[in-house]
Amino acid sequence: MITPLEIQNKQFSKKMRGFDENEVDEFLDRLTEDYEALYRENANLKDRINILEDKLKHYSDMEASLQNALIFAQNTAEEATRNAHEKCQMIVEQAEEEARRIIQKANEKTKDVEEQYQEAKRQMYIFRTRFKTLLEAQLEAVVTLCEQMEE
């Protein structure tokens, strides 16, 4: 391939009417061929650059999509974790509330049993007192009857 230096340093032979036309035509033909080759190579390289730029854009878009997907996945994971914590907290609160209700019922039943025990104790005391009074009255009646019989 002809170099820019060769073009710059090219000297044509002089003839009577100027430069040798065949030599100039031959040089211009070579120069045209080389220039066309460079032009085609330049066009091919531009096409290749466009293709590579398209691929780069595609990969950049893919990278952005992957980053978005990663962000979405991270947000989804954080939301799932947050929901799990909220659900766990809700379950704990429900369990605590149920435990409070059970304890309250147990305390109420204990109170009822205690009241029933106290009532039974009071009834027993009343029964004992009445029975004792009855027995004392019966004993006094028997003693009085015995005394009347002895007289």
Please give the share of the chain, as a percent, with pLDDT higher than 90: 68
Q: Mean pLDDT over all residues of the chain?
A: 91
Amino acid of residue 115:
E
From CA 23, how far away is CA 29, in angstroms rounded? 10
pTM: 0.45
Dump strand ranges (E) for the chain. Answer: 14-15, 18-19
Percent of the chain with pLDDT over 70: 97
Q: What is the pLDDT of residues 23-51, one digit of tens each?
A: 887 888 888 888 888 888 988 999 999 99
Q: What pLDDT is attached to residue 10?
A: 75
- At 115, list the tokens: 């009241």
* pLDDT tens figures, 88-131: 999 999 999 999 999 999 999 999 999 999 999 999 999 999 99
